[in-house]
Amino acid sequence: MENQDELGELIARFNRAATVPTRNPKPSAEQVAAAEDALGCRLPPSYVRFLRSCHAGTLRFWSTYWVGSEPRRSGQSQNIVRENEKLRAPSGPWPGWPRFLVAFQTDSGGNLNCFDSRGATDDGEWPIVFWDHELPAEDNVADLDDQAHSHRTFAAWLEGELENAEDRLEDDLDAEDR
């Protein structure tokens, strides 16, 4: 995993850039363990630390899934277990959803970023893969083996997302000044 100080800085940047503060309680160790049991795998440590620091969160155009009890407000965010159960269901949006993928984030267009549990590192981090909502499951699965992982870890993925969000915020502020 990346240096803990680097991840801490990414979390601080996220909290500064978040457009909608989440009000879900931070997940307890028991809630994380229950989610991992339901998903059939351990979650990457950097993602768990992010959840415990940010409760999940929303940047412009996307939000991460959360772990724990029901949201304090309806429709506030999506539960990682419930969302992955929907994806894994035979009647889900992509029949044949691979069990080794764990979706953790969606953009506003229906695409998903997923942990690929086949490639866990010694410290429990997983690479990130992209799932295109416009492709059938078999095409996405074929692309998983062909595509390079978009990021090697959650922290690396988060850093890229923050750079994009900060750039958009700068662009918006520049546009307001004109």
Secondary structure class of 40 (helix, strand, coil): coil
Give the dihedral sign, CA 22/28/32/38. Answer: negative
Of how many residues is the chain composed? 178
Average pLDDT over residues 21-39: 85
Distance from C-alpha of 159 to C-alpha of 13, rounded to nearest angstrom:
9
Per-residue pLDDT tens over the stretch 62-102: 677 888 876 555 555 588 999 999 999 999 888 888 999 99
Task: Decide if 101 contacts 131 (C-beta within 8 A).
Answer: yes
Mean per-residue pLDDT of the chain: 79
Distance from C-alpha of 171 to C-alpha of 89, rounded to nearest angstrom:
41
161, 167, 168, 169: CA torsion to nearest 10:
110
Instruction: Please state which CATH number belongs to domain 4-177.
Output: 3.40.1580.10
**How many Cα atoms within 13 Å fall on the side-chain side of residue 101?**
24
Domain ranges of the chain: 4-177
Task: Decide if 141 contacts 95 (C-beta within 8 A).
Answer: no
Per-residue pLDDT tens over the stretch 139-155: 888 877 666 567 788 88
Residue whose pair of structure tokens reads 């965010």 in the numeric block: 77
Q: State residue 172's pLDDT score.
A: 58
Distance from C-alpha of 21 to C-alpha of 63, rounded to nearest angstrom:
11
